[in-house]
Amino acid sequence: MSPEIATPTQFDTTFWIATTIFIVAYGIIISEKIHKTIVAVCGASLMLILHILDQHEAFHLEEFGVDWNVIFLLIGMMTIINLMKPTGLFEYIAIKSAKLAKGEPLRIMMIFAVVTGVLSALLDNVTTVLLIAPVTLFICDALDVDPIPYLIMEAIASNVGGTATLIGDPPNIMIASKAKLTFMDFIYHLAPVVIVLMVVLIGVIKVVFTPKLKSSPKLRQRVLAMDERAAITDPVMLKKSLFVLAVVLLGFAFHGALHYEPATVALFGAGLLLLLSKTKEPHHILAEIEWPTLFFFIGLFIIIGGVVKVGLISWMSIKMLAITQGNLLGTSMLLLWFSAIASAVIDNIPYVATMNPLIIDMAGQLWPEETGIALLQHPDLMPLWWSLALGACLGGNGTLIGASANVIVVGLAERQGKKISFFRFFAYGTPIMLLTVLISTVYIWLRYYVF
Amino acid sequence: MKVKEIMNPITDHLSPEDTLQSAVVKMRTTVREDRPGVKGLVVLNERGELVGVLTIKDVLRAAIPVYLDTRLSKLSWDGMLEEMARKVACRRVKEFMSKRLVTVPEDAPLMACADLLIQEKMQRLPVLNKDNRVVGIVYIKDIFNVVSQIFLDQEKCKL
């Protein structure tokens, strides 16, 4: 906690300049008139040019500036995935599971939802759907079934699965970094409810799609005849990738005990796999890193840093405490539902980037005698972090624009000449979002406030 | 020499609203160098303006699903291409034509044409007049003919 945050907000010119930059930037991001990365970088540079923040604060201070844990964790994971992608591992897994499902359309949808959920717990959601969607379209063509429900269910499964781990979804990465939570904290607190949610999701698929999905034995035979081993293009690199992935996952599992930040583990994995790949041209692998996303984060962190410094966030947290009267169960529930609805409508990354300092500020006011980890991980504060993570990740299922994974599958389907309308997604996404958030509500209440 | 001296005058064209089915009929029947069959046609809108080019590669590309990559295409089933082709036969030219227009003015020097064909990996360039109307097409073969004729007109090379 810094002394700056604890001081009451001064509603001076600086405050209004920073607040205006923040509101205008978020407004343009939501309107999608200008690419969000450009808006974020411009907003951040305005915070610097207008002396709301100085460059040292923006680049080097944890409380006002860029969260390099998030940036380097993403860089590391993206590099590892970019090196793994061409090996054909993901196609292998998908084809293998379609065969395990005996080529039955309904079973394939269920098993693909599970595969997507598990993969997106380990990779980011966008990567997961980018890997699974092409194989899905391929299998659906083989079976002559409509791929759209499959793609929608995969986007939903990736948002649910990604909630389970620290690395599964950007909100979790951001929350973990701010609250200094470990990979195992996420597994311990979020994985149990995500497993329940996945089981429910599979049940929903079974109930909704059993009467709808049929295919002839001749078409099923096409899937059964596929040789998934043919998808493996580079078995040597595949083994190296799996080795590094195992090292990285072990590293994540023990990073808390070993006193390494998750970003350290990811960066080590990226370096190791780059070395093992023996590539002489790392630039095309590094060029495939999603730099626009990373610059979006960088810009947002600085914009948020500006409004934290001028006290807007502190003022908002006081208002929020006034609403909830310091009732933590009420705050948890409000946070869970508000986050879910907000994330259904806007990008959950800027939302969580704003909520993180707000929650920390609120904690500072509730427990002024605590500092550091004792404050960030105050036993009464923990349910709030989990509520924020569950709300922000699961809310993405609410609408077509709620999560990047949704936008990606819609784009892929459209390129294939199949349009997914806003309402078609809505018809599946919103009931499932409401159901999953409801289950999470019960989970948070039972686990943290009853027992 | 200018490009208009070697270009082939336009004899036929497609409309963006044509189906791929009718487009391939035109491609098969359009006469070039006294033989029926061309590998590409310009696409003109109702005002006669150039809006795209459709080549045999674009027609093949239409039959290949966008999700397919080299890893998945190896797993494809017998009959997949035929099945996909049946699905796209009635789709429109405008969906698959290449809209990136690389053209030359009719008084362009041949060097500019040759360079464009090679740099842009094109097989043909629509030639435009001063009113931006397509008046002809220059093929890579036409430029090759010019170059090879120059080679042949020279004395035999001594090694």
**Per-residue confidence at A98, pLDDT binned at 50, 70, 90?**
very high
Structure tokens at A102: 């005996």
> A379 at the B interface (CB within 8 A)?
no
Asked if A175 and A115 count as a contact pair (C-beta separation under 8 A), the reply is: no
For residue A380, what are the CA distances in angstroms to A12, A330, A447, B121?
34, 12, 12, 65
Report the alpha-carbon distance of residue A22 to residue A25 in Å, rounded: 5
> A281 at the B interface (CB within 8 A)?
no
* 3-class secondary structure per residue, A70-117: HHHHHHHHHHHHHHHHHHCHHHHHHHHHHHHCCCCHHHHHHHHHHHHH
Torsion-angle region of B48 (φ positive above 0: left; ψ -120 to 50: alpha; else: beta): left
Residue A1 has pLDDT above 80, yes or no: no
Report the alpha-carbon distance of residue B48 to residue A271 in Å, rounded: 57
Pick from A396, A379, A400: which is nearest to A343 by CA?
A396
Give the Cα-Cα-Cα angle B44, B49, B53 (nearest 5 degrees). 40
Residue A323: alpha-carbon gap to chain centroid: 28
Residues of B in contact with A89 (CB under 8 A): none
User: Cβ separation of A135 and B72 shorter than 8 Å?
Assistant: yes
- Would you list the DSSP string of A254-320? HHHHHT--HHHHHHHHHHHHHHHHT-S-HHHHHHTS-HHHHHHHHHHHHHHHHHHHTTHHHHHHHHH
Kindly state the percentage of chain A with pLDDT values over 70: 98
- Nearest residue of B to residue A412 by CA position? B67
Q: pLDDT per residue over B18-54, tens digit each?
A: 999 999 999 999 888 788 888 899 999 999 999 999 9
Residue A194 has pLDDT above 90, yes or no: yes
Pick from B52, B54, B21: which is nearest to B39 by CA?
B54
Report the alpha-carbon distance of residue B145 to residue B113 in Å, rounded: 13
> A233 at the B interface (CB within 8 A)?
yes
Residue A331 has pLDDT above 80, yes or no: yes
For residue A231, what are the CA distances in angstroms to A87, A277, A431?
8, 19, 36
* 3-class secondary structure per residue, chain B: CEHHHHCEECCCCECCCCEHHHHHHHHHHCEECCEECCCEEEEECCCCEEEEEEEHHHHHHHHCCCCCCHHHHCCCCCCHHHHHHHHHCCCEHHHHCECCCCCEECCCEHHHHHHHHHHCCCCEEEEECCCCEEEEEEEHHHHHHHHHHHHHHCCCCCC
Pick from A449, A374, A443, A441: which is nearest to A191 by CA?
A443
Pick from A117, A256, A264, A243: which is nearest to A188 by CA?
A256
Total number of residues shown for chain A: 451
**Per-residue confidence at A7, pLDDT binned at 50, 70, 90?**
low
Per-window interface: B 41-70 vs A, CB < 8 A: 65-70
Residue A4 has pLDDT above 60, yes or no: no
Average pLDDT over residues A256-270: 94
Burial class of A382 by CB neighbour count within 10 A (0 to 12, 13 to 18, 19+): middle
Structure tokens at A400: 């077509």
Per-window interface: B 77-116 vs A, CB < 8 A: 77, 80, 83-84, 91, 95
User: Cβ separation of A231 and B91 shorter than 8 Å?
Assistant: no
Torsion angle defined by CA atoms of residues A381, A181, A429 and A410, in that order, rounded to the nearest 10 degrees: 150
Residue A3 has pLDDT above 50, yes or no: no
- Strand duo B31-32 + B35-36: pairing: antiparallel
Least CB–CB distance from A137: residue in B65, B70, B80: B65
Structure tokens at A329: 């169960």
Report the alpha-carbon distance of residue A184 to residue A250 in Å, rounded: 11
Asked if B45 and B51 count as a contact pair (C-beta separation under 8 A), the reply is: yes
What letter would DSSP give residue A449?
Answer: I
Structure tokens at A164: 């389970």
Report the alpha-carbon distance of residue A340 to residue A392 in Å, rounded: 5
Going from the N-terminus, what domains does chain B have, and what CATH number goes with each?
3-153 (3.10.580.10)
Report the alpha-carbon distance of residue A173 to residue A178 in Å, rounded: 9
Residues of B in contact with A412 (CB under 8 A): 66-67
Report the alpha-carbon distance of residue A162 to residue A194 in Å, rounded: 9
- Nearest residue of A to residue B66 by CA position? A416
**Ranges A95-104, A130-139, A408-417, A442-451: which has the least confidence:** A408-417
Residues of B in contact with A417 (CB under 8 A): 91, 95
Residues of A in contact with B70 (CB under 8 A): 233
Please, where are the H alpha helices in A163-290? 170-179, 183-189, 191-209, 217-224, 235-258, 262-277, 282-287
Structure tokens at A228: 């998934």
Residue A2 has pLDDT above 80, yes or no: no
Segment (H or E) for A349: helix A348-366
Task: Output the pLDDT for position B24.
Answer: 95
User: Cβ separation of B74 and A137 shorter than 8 Å?
Assistant: no
Report the alpha-carbon distance of residue A129 to residue A149 in Å, rounded: 14
Give the Cα-Cα-Cα angle A279, A281, A284 (nearest 5 degrees). 110
Least CB–CB distance from B75: residue in A133, A137, A227: A227
Q: What is the ipTM of this complex?
A: 0.79
- How many other CB atoms are there within 10 angstroms of residue A451's CB atom? 6
Task: Output the pLDDT for position B92.
Answer: 94
Report the alpha-carbon distance of residue A365 to residue A371 in Å, rounded: 11
Q: pLDDT per residue over B92-138, tens digit each?
A: 999 999 999 999 999 999 999 999 999 999 999 999 999 999 999 99
Task: Output the pLDDT for position A166.
Answer: 95
Burial class of B9 by CB neighbour count within 10 A (0 to 12, 13 to 18, 19+): exposed
Least CB–CB distance from B67: residue in A226, A228, A412: A412
CA distance B61 to chain A (A): 12
Residue A5 has pLDDT above 50, yes or no: no
Kindly state the percentage of chain A with pLDDT values over 90: 74
